[in-house]
Amino acid sequence: MNKLYVVGFGPGSREGMTIQAQTALNSADVIVGYTVYTELIKKYFLEKNIYSTAMRQERDRTEYALKQAAEGRDVCLVCSGDSQLYGMAGLALELSAAYPEVDIEIIPGVTAAFSGGAILGSPLTHDFAVISLSDLLTPIEKIYKRLECAAIGDFTVVLYNPSSKKRYDYLQRACEIMLEYKPAETICGYVKNIGREREESKITTLGELKKIDVDMFTTVFIGNSETKLINGKIVTPRGYRHE
């Protein structure tokens, strides 16, 4: 069987992996992924053949996975969190046009918005927007526009890829856009290394978030106008009526 599973393995801990993801990984002949991700999960799959490549080699990595599957191996192409969201599922399907003999199965995983949101409380109880601040594949003007529209729509906003060495001030710029529409007291939070060693979370306000340095392993949450703090947890109400 020529099978390629594109697997979202969750935030990083074994407990955060779905049984479906574990089953696919256990059955694979080869596990393919970005080095940081294969390093995270290889301790759970010691017997496996692992092929890893550096960041920004997504196309080569996906081609390799498809070729391995075309040769008859069961292959897992792994992504952290979910396999669609800023993951490899879309690219694998795009490139699969040249490999009709390969059957692709997309296996979802718990994305950082939910694993991180759960650590902070329940910031994502209502409509929310997920925006990546990485301008590697998206023009920065479009990112700014999306931030602005999400703020105008009073969405709770989750920011992925909030920072990198080159983009050290992007979170600050995102906060400045948000501050044009949202008050500085808006409840915010961030979680670093979710489900991994040195997990760390903080609750703050939009005014303060602007001054904070975060790294690329951080997910940032910006509340909507109803988001509040209850006993140290962020809560965005669903709006159930109090009978």
Q: Give the residue with the Cβ less far from ligand SAH, 2 or 134.
A: 134
CB–CB of 82/8 below 8 Å? yes
Give least dist CB 116 to ligand SAH, A. Answer: 6
Q: How would you classify the pairing of strands 218-222 and 156-160?
A: antiparallel
Q: Which is nearer to ligand SAH, 68 or 219 (CB)?
A: 219
Cβ neighbours around 114 below 10 Å, total: 18
Question: From the DSSP assignment, how many helices (H) and strands (E) are in the chain?
Answer: 8, 13
Task: Give me the least distance between CB of 199 and ligand SAH, in Å please.
Answer: 8
**Smallest distance from ligand SAH to CB 162, Å:** 6
Cα 212 off chain centre by: 20
Least distance between ligand SAH and beta carbon 142 (Å):
17
Q: Where are the alpha helices (DSSP H) in the chain?
A: 19-27, 35-41, 58-70, 89-95, 112-120, 140-152, 170-179, 206-209
How far apart are the C-alpha atoms of 120 and 112, rounded to whole Å? Answer: 12
Residue with smaller CB distance to ligand SAH, 96 or 163: 163
Nearer to ligand SAH, 57 or 193 (CB): 193
Nearest-CB residue to ligand SAH? 81
Residue nearer to ligand SAH on the CB measure, 57 or 73: 57
Residues that bind ligand SAH (CB under 6 A): 11-12, 79-82, 85-87, 111-112, 116, 160-162, 191-196, 216-219
